Structure 1
């Protein structure tokens, strides 16, 4: 399955005979992938040391894609054919389809060795040199420690200072194995993620400069849409101004939009892996059978965004707004025992979440929304659906984390959520103030691991103190109640 018809023969007797290799998911392959090979070839030709015999694109195994996104819409045969179409007009770039067609993921390094062994049977002097973009070079550390790598840096990399990393002492040791080329003429940033989104929205008109025409046609011929069965909403179906931001977090931004003639909140998740984790929970909650009045309603899911009901205010903001004086108590902040109603509604919502097999893992006043005094549990960024979980994603707020889950994030149960709920009850009493707000998170972690419990500085009913300090904050998770038991105890003590 390895093409050889474009090798530029004969080989040189005075220069190093080089074959350039670009590995990638190519889901789908786009014009900047081809540009990497072209730029590398142009640069090496100026050095007058190398003879470029040919170039190969080598699509990875499906397993490499499954680590990044939740579902695969283009088969490996689709990706392989698109790669072949993308290099159809090239006089020197070919396709190595060996790795993508294997029963299991052999790995890029073994694939490279396979290509070398194959070519060297006929041309023993050929060397295979990997090329990559700037964002991929750190992943090739094992390679550039041993052999030559060509890196084409053509765009800024989000949340990563490439220059600082490249000039660090640990990397400078291997600069002799790295040829770094800055492509300042790259006119347009492209990503396979954005291309998939455009295709899922049927916006082929926006991709004429991104994909080879035959690759674009192939998507139409094979009806490849990249829109999963779980994705019920297209971005083009949303109205309203993109600039109205309701909230912004580390991994997502929430916008105010319009959907089916109603105001909605649209959460756009920036990280693909984060979206894949959250999608398992959102998909379950979007099912009509999962609806509960005390859970935020999910209207639909798109490509890295979800559409949900828009609420008035979060509980933390409500507390801060109504707590006019430091001397105020829980009863003055929440007139007419509204605090007790909120607690019962929250517990009812968490009982329902547990019945669905969902652990929230980030329980705090910010993530409780209110509308007409109705509680809505929200933000499932780090939540897990136990029925589809492979491993725990990133943690929630460490200030609220239970002791058993601090050292090992894989240890997390309903009783861990109960511990976090106790921290939320503390916040309600103390006007939204975080547990041990006067110290940093590392000190909170130390205190929690010793079993120390925060002291209540606001007077409240004895049963409430007991429910938090004795029940929710029990050091041994087995001694904590379930949400169902907390709910029953709350009704018993206040009826």
Structure 2
């Protein structure tokens, strides 16, 4: 009697959204940690990592031009054979919710034709709206390794701070959080001993979809952050070995971070807080 073969692996694309102001070695490590973790489960094969810097319309204090942030991210990943930078989100004139960016990249995986990638992020749960695109959704994917499931999943890669930001009033829409964790899933890198599990336990929507949230413990701790990099630069201190050398050289060449740049958007309400607060009033 024939025995069943091993369960087929699901292809995964990891998407990291954020300011990347500037990109650091920590950001790059998140991808490596997530890839190792998912491969070690035996269920997944990570085929790509995508860095999607936020657009200028996000209005975060100290956020420098998206052109510079995208260029630095591209310099940082130029030697990577699997992590790339996508500037679609950063080139939008308005701030986009993370869910819309996930939907965009999900659609792009299903129909690589860029004209189809944006039916700006149709909700995955309502595929019937755009009838003309329906055949594209079910086109057979090119033949692959028989041990690989055909449609790649796109998962949001984040640090524990992003996951915990789900609890900040008006920063995220509750229905967006639900769709992110239900239809895509999260890979969250956290420090050993971090309280992320407690945060998931205390959130009904995260608890309901906890099997779709992969918590990856970072045992070789790395406390580099973009804000600390900017602080060091303002004080004339070295950032060597904290960011890739090509990024450090680019920052120095363009004199990117200063007390003046850190005051950019000072006093301006963050785009999601502004948008979600006004939406809740309507």
Please, what TM-score do these two structures have when normalized by structure 1? 0.40
Q: Does 1:116 align with 2:142?
A: no
Q: Give yes or no for contact 2:156–2:184 (8 Å, CA) kept in 1.
A: no
Shift in Å at residue 60 of structure 1? 0.7
Any idea what SS the aligned residue of 2:161 has? coil
Q: Does 1:153 align with 2:190?
A: yes
Superposed counterparts of 1:416-495, under 5 Å: none
Distance 1:194 1:127 in 2: 33
Shift in Å at residue 46 of structure 1? 0.7
Q: How many residues align?
A: 216
Distance 1:51 1:163 in 2: 25
Cα distance change of structure 1 residues 162 and 44 upon mapping to structure 2, 3 Å threshold: closer
1:165 to 170, 177, 199: 199
Any idea what SS the aligned residue of 1:209 has? coil
Match of 2:231 in 1: 197
Any idea what SS the aligned residue of 1:17 has? strand
Match of 1:39 in 2: 33
Any idea what SS the aligned residue of 2:70 has? helix
Match of 1:126 in 2: 152
Deviation per CA, 1:39-69, whole angstroms, max 9, x where unpaired?
A: 00001111111111111111011122x2x31
Distance 1:57 1:125 in 2: 21
Any idea what SS the aligned residue of 2:95 has? coil
Q: Does 1:178 align with 2:210?
A: no
Deviation per CA, 1:283-311, whole angstroms, max 9, x where unpaired?
A: xxxxxxxxxxxxxxxxxxxxxxxxxxxxx
2:181 to 138, 144, 152: 144
2:75 to 77, 82, 85: 85
Shift in Å at residue 185 of structure 1? 1.1
Shift in Å at residue 194 of structure 1? 1.2
Any idea what SS the aligned residue of 2:259 has? coil
Superposed counterparts of 1:322-471, under 5 Å: none
Q: Give yes or no for contact 2:153–2:184 (8 Å, CA) kept in 1.
A: no
Distance 2:181 2:261 in 1: 41
Q: Does 1:27 align with 2:64?
A: no
Distance 1:84 1:218 in 2: 11
Deviation per CA, 1:18-46, whole angstroms, max 9, x where unpaired?
A: 11111111011111111111100001111
Deviation per CA, 1:410-464, whole angstroms, max 9, x where unpaired?
A: xxxxxxxxxxxxxxxxxxxxxxxxxxxxxxxxxxxxxxxxxxxxxxxxxxxxxxx
Cα distance change of structure 1 residues 42 and 173 upon mapping to structure 2, 3 Å threshold: same
Distance 2:98 2:207 in 1: 24
Distance 2:109 2:51 in 1: 15
Please list every run of 5 or more consecutive structure 1 residues that lacks an aligned counterpart in the other structure.
1-12, 232-272, 278-388, 392-495
Q: Does 1:227 align with 2:259?
A: yes
Superposed counterparts of 1:294-309, under 5 Å: none
Deviates more, 1:214-223 or 1:123-132: 123-132
Q: Give yes or no for contact 1:60–1:108 (8 Å, CA) kept in 2.
A: no
Any idea what SS the aligned residue of 1:125 has? strand
Q: Give yes or no for contact 2:52–2:89 (8 Å, CA) kept in 1.
A: yes
Please list every run of 5 or more consecutive structure 2 residues that lacks an aligned counterpart in the other structure.
1-6, 113-140, 142-149, 167-176, 271-282
Any idea what SS the aligned residue of 1:190 has? coil
